[in-house]
Amino acid sequence: MSDVLALIDNEVKSNDVVLFMKGTPDFPMCGFSGQVVKILDYVGVPYKSINVLENDEIRQGIKDYANWPTIPQLYIKGEFIGGCDIVRELFQEGELKKIIANHGIEMAAE
């Protein structure tokens, strides 16, 4: 399992924005993953998505990595932001854009 955690750690730390999700941005396989994709697309931030359904070790490993029981999980500049409910709340309050901007990540112009 340590190899999987190292792989996850590398993805989280080497990408500005990473979304561990069920499915892909084009074909989310759960409603919660789909909601986070829509939020990230709306905000206009580029992100890497990792489909946890393709690998059971990553699916369990990401839960262990963050000590968070659910998927999707969003990371910005190596920091665990949260799952669907937290991301949605941050977005609705205008905080998600602030977090992204404070980390120096470019967003598409509105």
More confident residue, 109 or 74: 74
- The reported pTM is 0.95
Is residue 46 reached through a cis peptide bond, with omega within 30 degrees of 0 on the bond before it? no
Please give the CATH superfamily to which domain 2-102 belongs.
Glutaredoxin (3.40.30.10)
The reported pLDDT for the residue numbered 109 is 65
Nearest CA to 95 out of 70, 66, 74 is that of 74
End-to-end Cα distance, the chain: 42
Boundaries of every domain in the chain: 2-102
On the question of pLDDT at 35 being above 70, the answer is yes
> Residues 36-92: pLDDT tens digits?
999 999 999 999 999 999 999 999 999 999 999 999 999 999 999 999 999 999 999
